[in-house]
Amino acid sequence: MYNDITLKCKECGADFVFTAGEQEFYAEKGFTNQPQRCKACRDAKKNAGKSGRTFYEAKCAMCGGIARVPFEPKEDRPVYCSDCFAKQRGE
């Protein structure tokens, strides 16, 4: 029913194939437009907004080791390293 179509990426200008399987998937989802970008450019656009995650170091409240956490530690709350956090969750 569907045939592979060669399209041109609007970002990089490279030719890419819009396969019959992809066309069927688009039809099932109700998408009416063909893709405008090749897979590499789609992935780059998707990941462009994601910034690197900032990690903070703190002293583990249980073992005294270094805990790397994705939030800024506060003095009034305990921070645990990965191993101690897992032990806390298991209890």
Our count of domains for the chain comes to: 2
Binned at pLDDT 50, 70 and 90, residue 10 comes out as: very high
Helix, coil or strand: residue 24:
helix
Is-above-0.75 flag for pTM?
no
> Are residues 71 and 43 part of one domain?
no
Q: According to the model, what pLDDT value does residue 70 have?
A: 86
> Are residues 44 and 22 part of one domain?
yes
> Are residues 44 and 12 part of one domain?
yes
> Are residues 38 and 11 part of one domain?
yes
Strand runs labelled E in 1-91: 5-8, 15-18, 56-59, 66-69
Binned at pLDDT 50, 70 and 90, residue 44 comes out as: confident
Torsion-angle region of residue 43: left (phi > 0), alpha (psi -120 to 50) or beta? alpha
> Are residues 62 and 34 part of one domain?
no
Identify the bridge partners of residue 68 per DSSP, sorted by sequence position. Answer: 57
> Are residues 23 and 40 part of one domain?
yes
> Are residues 14 and 41 part of one domain?
yes
Mean pLDDT for all residues in the chain? 90
> Are residues 64 and 40 part of one domain?
no
Q: Would you give the DSSP letter of residue 54?
A: P
How far apart CA 39 and CA 63 sit, in angstroms, is 46
**Enclosing domain of residue 42:** 5-48
> Are residues 10 and 44 part of one domain?
yes
